[in-house]
Structure 1
Amino acid sequence: MQGARFSLVIISAAILLGACSSVPAPRGEVQGMSSGSREMGQSDTNRVATIAMHSNLQSLYLLMDKLYRRNPAEWKKTAASREDAIQRVRSAIEQRAPWPALAEQRDIGALSLALKPEFAGDRVAAFIHASADMIIVAHNGKTEFFLIDSLDAQHLYNAARNMEIAVWLLASRRNETGKPLLLADDISEAGRNLSFEREFGKIVARLDLLAVFITEKYRRAGISYVQNLLGGSFIQFLPVR
């Protein structure tokens, strides 16, 4: 009898340990942007667009850091350290300043130049700066949005397609020695590193979602107008005495 009880205790303990080990590890939590008085001048659409823009720029900065780590020869063309090179590119993007190596090119012209095999400058800096500039141009040259601002859904959609094309060119084009323009994702016998593809995918997804959201905003405005007209006649309280 005691042996049976002991076995039951062991089995129960094993089940509890198994249940504990199956609990997923913490993956963080949702982090919203800090609030401020400027929000009073923003609609829901303005706020969504501002958050999406902030997230897309943060994704590009993360990709820049990862690309510099895999391609250290590039940041050496810009600064004495990787951190300094990152800061210089970030400052140029946020101040809407042109990148010198891109010969005053902006938007898709700069993106095209950054992806040419013969480009001799810091390709990481040029690619990230041009990508950010193209996305900002698609948002009417702004990174923060208020009630007086409007966005064109087709421009956002086009920016998403441009980003897809740029990533494909980055992976498929070769330089004069036959190597990829920049080392990014890696699939080998040692393992698979697709972190670059996932981060670029987030940017494309945000642009596409915002484009659909903007389109739905105007469509829903028309539907809401009709609903209000109908509601004025049919959705009313009735007298009870």
Structure 2
Amino acid sequence: MQRLRCVYVLLCMCAALTGCSTMDTASNKHGEVKGASISGREMGQSDTNRIATLGMRNNLDSLYLLMEKLYRRNPGEWKKTAASRDESIKRVRDAIEQRQPWTELRGQRDIKALSLALTSEFNGDRVAAFIYASADMIIAAHDGKTEFFLVDGLDAQHLYNAARNIEIAVWLLANRRNTEGKILLLSDNMGESGRNLSFEREFGKIVGRLDLLAVFITEKYRRAGINYIQNMIGGSFLQFLPVR
């Protein structure tokens, strides 16, 4: 009887371990959270600086992903100025990262560039212009920077405005038509064959990050005052008591 009980316990343990392994495998199918590698530059960053830097990096990555997806749905756009889709993607990324003007936007930057990219009369590569202008507008809202340190400050209202600008741009992209009466760019598909809202979700991530950072910047100054008061009040009460 004792031996049977031991066998039963071992079987239960094996089942539990198998279950854990199965759950781990299932969760891994959806990806894993990955942190950035440590660098010496972080020594000059506060928590707020770090969050702003990561948010900017993720927002630019989202725009690059959207650019690739838009080119796949609108292949005629990259053909206007480049020999391949990859070449066009690289040109746009380089212009954004190096803060260079985009020729087709006639020197316009920020919201002026975004407005021009979404006009029905624009005849250039609309995908490139739209992604470049969106990135330039977001960077402008971050005081023209993509990485932030202790000496840098951010305006919460500018970040909030950038989030609203993205929402407006996405709506215009889906509803405004060109001179031929066609939607400016094909994106989400909600036809009879099914629904593909991947564009909406990715744009939503950008809006969410901008809104969260705007609120966090606002909270930072309020929390600084609260923490100061808590330290003053708690300093006299939160004292260790003698035990001998």
After TM superposition, is the score higher than 0.5? yes
1:91 CA drift (Å) = 0.2
Where does residue 152 of structure 1 map in the other structure?
A: 155
Where does residue 102 of structure 2 map in the other structure?
A: 99
CA distance in 2, matches of 1:158, 1:59: 19
CA distance in 1, matches of 2:242, 2:40: 44
**Residues 101-140 of structure 1: pairs in structure 2 closer than 5 A:** 101-140=104-143
Where does residue 5 of structure 1 map in the other structure?
A: none
Which of 36, 53, 58 is the aligned partner of 2:61? 58
Where does residue 12 of structure 1 map in the other structure?
A: none
Aligned AA (1:157): Y
Where does residue 207 of structure 1 map in the other structure?
A: 210
What SS does the aligned partner of 1:178 have? coil
1:236 CA drift (Å) = 2.3
What SS does the aligned partner of 1:119 have? coil
What SS does the aligned partner of 2:95 have? helix
CA distance in 1, matches of 2:118, 2:93: 19
Deviations 1:210-239 (A, max 9, x none): 111111111100000111111223322345
What SS does the aligned partner of 1:162 have? helix
Is residue 2:242 matched to residue 1:232?
no
Which of 167, 183, 188 is the aligned partner of 1:185? 188
What SS does the aligned partner of 1:192 have? strand
What SS does the aligned partner of 2:116 have? helix
Where does residue 32 of structure 1 map in the other structure?
A: 35
Where does residue 72 of structure 1 map in the other structure?
A: 75
Aligned AA (1:186): N
What SS does the aligned partner of 1:65 have? helix
Where does residue 4 of structure 2 map in the other structure?
A: none
Give the length in aligned residue pairs: 222
CA distance in 2, matches of 1:155, 1:124: 25
Aligned AA (1:166): A
Is residue 2:85 matched to residue 1:89?
no
Aligned AA (2:225): G
Residue ranges of structure 2 left out of the alignment (5+ in a row): 1-18
Residue ranges of structure 1 left out of the alignment (5+ in a row): 1-18
What SS does the aligned partner of 1:187 have? strand
Two-structure CA RMSD over aligned residues (Å): 1.6
Deviations 1:94-118 (A, max 9, x none): 0000100001000000000000000
CA distance in 2, matches of 1:177, 1:37: 53
Aligned AA (2:135): A
Deviations 1:30-70 (A, max 9, x none): 01122211111111111111000000000000000000011
CA distance in 1, matches of 2:233, 2:26: 50
Structure 1 residues 231-240 or 115-124, which shifts more?
231-240
1:168 CA drift (Å) = 0.3
State TM-score, norm by structure 2.
0.87
What SS does the aligned partner of 1:213 have? helix
CA distance in 2, matches of 1:62, 1:240: 61
Where does residue 51 of structure 2 map in the other structure?
A: 48
Aligned AA (1:162): N
